Structure formats: structure tokens, C-alpha cells
């Protein structure tokens, strides 16, 4: 693979073998067993709740199935069943280039593991991925798509690589204001993002617990900030771990588009709700993007092409690189 290309494979990938995980659900507090299985080309990512009646537990990991975004991203189906806290696993699958997988869980939530994507990534890398006989598709942003909520905003802008830029601004001495821009090529996700853990503030814990949230939360799966100090004895994994975790969350949420997004995601104080709204707007704005195979994209890039405004196949035909 040439350094800096957004995709290491022009074809879709799945896992070489199933991977089993056991952990605690961050919000439900229950032990959850999860097995991530290989899946056929063009299926994308699906969740299957094994604890529910047969035929009722299948939930597609797609933007239109988002049912809750308060503390994490939850997906639901037509039977009223849901799977919570999908974003760290979704980020790991996208970050490792896994297009197709069936995720079986025996509870209502993906295990939180250590609060980052690293445990998922480590096993995916150990088991390995399998290239499949189907072209990989991408969404290529041609015109900006933007959503706002008060002073928060998220924008998808044209670009030829998948880039995520996040600014956060917390009224807290430890977190404060942090900005990070990551071009998600080569090893960037694994090295710069995957190990960043979720975080919480001591003065919010009681209120969240009273509402039945974060029952499984502990120093083993989150960074806890108490005023101007970090409670975890081991400290931070990255100096700016907070904004890195936000980039991780945003990648996980954006992966609900079902295919990689070629473009620059730029957000100020993003959250799961803003990301969900952004994907809704993206799919309503059909003239703002093109579907393209990675093969077609590479051919265009090889000719030094700028993002076209008309359909990609039209452009390819004009350039006589397509049948
Ligand atoms: Zn998170």
C-alpha cells in the first residue's frame, strides 16, 4: 500500500474468525458476552441480541436506527429492542477496515471493556481480517453538510481522505479546551485514537446513577475527573486523551453511515446527538455526496482529479478509465 492512501484495500473485508469478548455494560452494569462473527460481503455491521426471542433481536448498525444519544449511541429495531453503547466497537471495526460483521450479544449493551477501542482493536489485529470478493464503497463528500445546536456544530466538508477534527471546551481545569485533527490513514487510528478512554466528572456521578445510568462505571473503564485532578492512579494515556476519545466517538458514530466517508468532519463540542443529526442531514442532502468504489476513487486520484460535482461514473467515462 502507498503511504497515505485512505484505504489499504479496494475490496471489502471481514474477520478471519469469530472473536469473543466478555465485559460489563457501562450503563446496565451487567456482565455481557459478545461474539463478533465474520459476515458476507455487502451486509455491513449487524447486532444480534441473543437474549431475545428468535427473529426479534437483529439490529442493523445504520444511522436511521439510532434511538438514543444521551450518554452513548443506542440502536433499535422495529420490535422496540435496542443495543446501547455501540460507538467504541463501531470505531474499532471501521478503524481496522472491517466492513462486514455480525455482532452477537447476550444483553442490551456492548461491553465497555477499558472504556476505549483498544481491546476490540487488539483482538481484531490478532485474529486478522479477510479480504472479500466485493468492491469497497465510500461516500465522497462534494458539498458541505452542516448541523448546529446552540454553539455546537458539526460539518462534513469535501476532502480526499477521511479526516476528523474535533474541538472541545470544558469548564474544567484538567480537560479545558483541546483540539485534534487526525487523518485516518495507515496506523493513525491505532496509534493516535484507539487507546483514548471515555471520561466523566465526579460531581455528575450521583445524578447519573440516580437516573439508572453508569451502573457499570469504574476507574477500570473510564477516566474520572474530580475538580482539577485525575482520580485514576495511572493518570492519562495521552496528554490530550479527552479530545482523542471524542475523535474515537465521532468515528464510531459516523460509521453508522455504513460505508467510509471520504471528507473532512469538523466539529466544535460534538456529541452523539449532533452526529446523529449530521448523518440524517447528509442522507437528506443527496446532491452533497457521491457513492464511489475505492477502485474508482484511486483511479481519479491517480489522475490528480479534484472532487467532481457531477456523478462519478460520468466523470470516469469522460476520462475513459471506465468501461
Ligand atoms: Zn465514548
Write out pLDDT tens, residues 60-114.
Answer: 999 999 999 999 999 999 999 999 999 999 999 999 999 999 999 999 999 999 9
pLDDT of residue 315: 38
Determine which one of 88, 245, 264, 272 is catalytic.
Answer: 272
213 vs 109: which has the higher pLDDT = 109
Question: Ligand 1 centroid to 115 CA: how many Å?
Answer: 7
Position 320 pLDDT exceeds 80: no
What does the pLDDT look like over 239-284, one tens digit per residue? Answer: 999 999 999 999 999 999 999 999 999 999 999 999 999 999 999 9
120 vs 213: which has the higher pLDDT = 120
Structure-block grid coordinates of residue 178? 483541546
Q: What percent of the chain has pLDDT over 90?
A: 86
Question: Distance (Å, rounded) from C-alpha 3 to C-alpha 112?
Answer: 33
Q: Where are the beta strands (DSSP E) in the chain?
A: 11-15, 19-24, 31-38, 45-49, 58-60, 66-68, 74-76, 82-83, 101-105, 129-135, 137-141, 145-149, 152-157, 162-169, 177-183, 199-201, 223-226, 229-230, 261-268, 289-293
Question: Ligand 1 centroid to 54 CA: how many Å?
Answer: 30
Question: Ligand 1 centroid to 246 CA: how many Å?
Answer: 7
What does the pLDDT look like over 31-49, one tens digit per residue? Answer: 999 999 999 999 999 999 9
Question: Ligand 1 centroid to 311 CA: how many Å?
Answer: 36
Q: How many CA within 13 A on the CB side of residue 166? A: 22
pLDDT of residue 317: 45
275 vs 7: which has the higher pLDDT = 275
> What is the phi-psi region of residue 177: left when phi exceeds 0, alpha when psi lies from -120 to 50, beta otherwise?
beta
pLDDT of residue 275: 98
Question: Distance (Å, rounded) from C-alpha 320 to C-alpha 323?
Answer: 7
Banded pLDDT at 6 (limits 50, 70, 90): confident
Banded pLDDT at 181 (limits 50, 70, 90): very high
Banded pLDDT at 318 (limits 50, 70, 90): very low
Position 304 pLDDT exceeds 80: no
pLDDT of residue 8: 80
Model pTM greater than 0.75? yes
Average pLDDT (287-316) is: 73
pLDDT of residue 4: 55
Average pLDDT (231-237) is: 97
Average pLDDT (15-39) is: 97
Banded pLDDT at 197 (limits 50, 70, 90): very high
Position 319 pLDDT exceeds 80: no
Position 321 pLDDT exceeds 60: no
Question: Ligand 1 centroid to 58 CA: how many Å?
Answer: 23
Q: Coil, strand or helix: which one is 273?
A: helix
CB 237 within 8 A of CB 115: no
Let me know if 245 is a catalytic residue: no
Position 310 pLDDT exceeds 50: no
Question: Distance (Å, rounded) from C-alpha 168 to C-alpha 267?
Answer: 9
Amino acid at each position: 500500500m502507498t503511504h497515505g492512501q485512505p484505504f489499504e484495500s479496494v475490496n471489502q473485508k471481514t474477520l478471519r474468525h469469530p472473536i469473543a469478548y466478555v465485559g460489563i455494560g457501562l450503563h446496565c452494569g451487567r456482565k455481557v458476552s459478545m461474539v463478533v462473527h465474520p459476515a458476507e460481503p455487502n451486509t455491513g455491521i449487524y447486532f444480534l441480541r441473543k437474549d431475545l426471542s428468535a427473529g426479534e433481536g437483529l439490529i442493523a448498525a445504520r444511522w436511521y436506527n439510532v434511538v438514543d444519544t444521551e450518554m452513548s449511541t443506542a440502536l433499535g429495531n422495529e420490535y422496540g429492542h435496542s443495543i446501547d453503547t455501540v460507538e467504541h466497537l463501531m470505531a474499532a471495526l471501521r478503524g481496522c477496515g472491517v466492513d462486514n460483521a455480525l455482532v452477537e450479544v447476550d444483553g442490551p449493551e456492548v461491553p465497555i471493556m477499558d472504556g476505549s477501542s483498544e481491546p476490540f482493536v487488539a483482538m481484531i489485529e490478532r485474529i486478522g481480517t479477510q479480504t472479500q470478493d466485493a468492491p469497497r464503497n465510500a461516500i465522497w463528500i462534494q458539498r458541505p453538510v452542516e448541523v448546529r445546536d446552540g454553539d455546537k456544530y458539526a460539518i462534513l466538508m469535501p476532502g480526499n481522505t477521511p479526516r476528523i477534527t474535533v474541538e472541545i471546551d470544558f469548564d474544567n481545569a484538567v480537560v479545558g479546551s483541546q483540539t485534534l485533527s487526525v487523518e485516518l490513514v495507515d496506523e493513525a487510528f491505532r496509534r493516535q485514537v484507539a487507546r483514548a478512554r471515555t471520561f466523566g466528572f465526579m460531581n455528575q456521578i450521583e445524578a447519573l446513577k440516580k437516573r439508572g445510568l453508569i451502573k457499570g462505571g469504574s476507574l477500570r473503564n473510564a477516566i474520572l475527573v474530580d475538580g482539577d485532578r485525575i482520580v485514576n492512579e495511572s493518570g492519562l494515556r495521552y496528554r490530550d486523551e479527552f479530545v482523542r476519545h471524542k475523535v474515537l466517538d465521532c468515528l464510531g458514530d459516523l460509521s453508522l453511515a455504513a460505508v467510509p466517508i471520504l471528507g473532512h468532519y469538523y466539529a466544535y463540542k460534538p456529541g452523539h446527538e449532533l452526529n446523529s443529526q449530521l448523518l440524517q442531514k447528509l442522507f437528506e442532502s443527496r446532491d452533497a455526496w457521491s457513492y464511489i468504489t475505492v477502485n474508482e476513487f484511486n483511479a481519479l486520484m491517480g489522475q490528480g482529479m479534484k472532487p467532481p460535482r457531477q456523478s462519478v461514473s460520468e466523470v470516469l467515462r469522460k476520462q475513459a478509465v471506465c468501461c
